[in-house]
Amino acid sequence: MPVGSQIDPSWWTSGLWEGRPIRESLRRRDVAATFRFLHARGFSYGAIAALVGISANRAAEVAKGVRQVTAYEVLERIAVGLSIPRVLMGLGQDQDVDASRAFSAVGETASTAGGQPGRPPTGDGVGGEVGLLARLRNELDEALASSSAAPRQVELIEESVSDHMRMYPSAPPRVMLTRLAAECVEVKVLSRRRQPAAIQARLSGAAALLATMCADALMRLGEVGEARRWYRTATCAADDSAQPRLRVLVRAQSAMLPYYFGDPQQAVSLTEAALAVTETPTPSSALAAAGRARALARLGAVEEARAAIGQAKEMFEQVGDDDSDAAFRFPAKRMLFYLSGANTWLGDTKEAYRVQEEALRLYGPSVPIDPTLIALDRSMCMVQDRRLAEAVVSALDAVAGLPEGQRTEIVLTRVCEVVSAIPARHRGSEVAALTELVRACREGGRTLAGGTPVLDP
């Protein structure tokens, strides 16, 4: 791009290209002519590519007519990136995505997209609804990078985000994705025009929390690839907010994804990055420290994990949250949940049982997922103690006690780990029943995702 130059939107209504109004080329969606028009005004193909989100080589190929652009989404990106009024390209008004349609059936797992029944999804083959979710994420990224809202508008958004955070732990992930969609759209619309710094920081903070909830819900559904991308969006938004507390929180939360569905060493790295953001401890720092201890235990780094558990306990004593069921708070019961995992992976079953009993006493019925995962930790401890029949019954009860919409991949994968830990020669009819329950839950999840969702938990 020429130094100090910007695209003047008036070019698109009054400019000429090869003796004819450029708007005629826009009406035909002649992207090649559009790129050449800008190139003649001193814009390099690299600069054009950066504006519309494609490679410089592709921009040059389009300008030369080697490649054509027909995808509606790419045409929209070109219109936004080059400040072209949408109506000139026949793209209609700048309407928001239909949030209900985008999220209503989201969470269809990768096993639906070509997988075999009963097999866990990889999280990388997302279906059509998750594809719409990905489009919204891209638009939110774009809005955050480009963007005047009244303070009261921002206050209302922040109040809504707080409501979602209170609701999140008890609502099925598909239901939450439906509800989060509308809020993401509103933040995206307000952020399209860069706000004054204080307002933008608050909008970015709201975006960080919304994106983290989206990422967590997708993780629960086993949509690993899209969850990872939403965590990236959350991290960028948190950094843009300039709030150290949020920067720590998002990084600590994102460590859950590799802990459950990837490499625990990556979870260690993410928690250490969270702890390095600021020297001032916060509840999110305690979360990061506990997450680090749990991931080290899963890696089998015994001495490091024990030291990390001590550090996490010390930090929690300083800054832990009071009791709350809201998302992203770190009260004693959630600390105990993390200690349950750490002690289970270390094989300290006596301490694990003690921690699990205390945690389950503190959790109420409105938060189903954490107690279920704690119960599955207990099942794993029973396997380690050779109490195999009890382990299977405990796992069966844990899954059967969940509402149908909460029987998601984060739980089912943990059940499969319990089954895998049982020696093959001891897998009798009870294990077969547990395996069949997992298969039925996955099949039910596919049916639910393909049908009309229930909009209340």
Q: Give burial (CB, 10 Å; 0-12/13-18/19+) of 145.
A: exposed
Q: Look at the pTM and tell me if it is higher than 0.85.
A: no
Check whether 402 has a pLDDT greater than 80. Answer: yes
Dihedral sign of CA atoms 385, 388, 393, 396 in order: positive
Query: Where is the domain boundary, 90, 121, 136?
Result: 90
Question: Which string of b and e fits 2-28 if b means at least 16 CB within 10 Å?
Answer: eeeeebeeebbeebebeeeebbebbee
Residues 101 and 45 grouped into a single domain: no
pLDDT above 70 (res 12): yes
pLDDT band per the 50, 70, 90 thresholds, residue 5 = low
**Residue 363 in domain:** no
The lowest-confidence range among 45-54, 101-110, 392-401, 426-435 is: 101-110
Q: Is residue 362 part of a domain?
A: no
Q: Is residue 407 part of a domain?
A: yes
Final residue belonging to a domain, choices 226, 242, 258:
242
Tokens read off for 356 = 């699990």
pLDDT averaged over the chain? 84
- Residues 264 and 304: beta-carbon distance below 8 Å: no
pLDDT at 194: 62
Q: Are residues 177 and 101 in the same domain?
A: yes
Q: Are residues 433 and 456 in the same domain?
A: yes
109 against 435, higher pLDDT: 435
Domain CATH for 74: 1.10.260
Does residue 350 lie in a domain region?
no
pLDDT category at 390 given cuts 50, 70, 90 is very high
Convert the pLDDT of each residue in 99-136 to its tens digit: 444 444 444 433 333 343 334 444 444 455 666 777 77
Kindly state the average pLDDT of the residues 69-74.
79
Residue with tokens 């708070």: 329
pLDDT for residue 166 is more than 60: yes
**Within a domain: 352:** no
Residue 4, pLDDT > 50, answer no
Q: Identify whether residues 140 and 204 lie together within a single domain.
A: yes
Contacts for 21 with CB less than 8 Å, ≥ 6 apart = 14, 15
Can you give the residue range of the structural domain that contains 424?
368-457
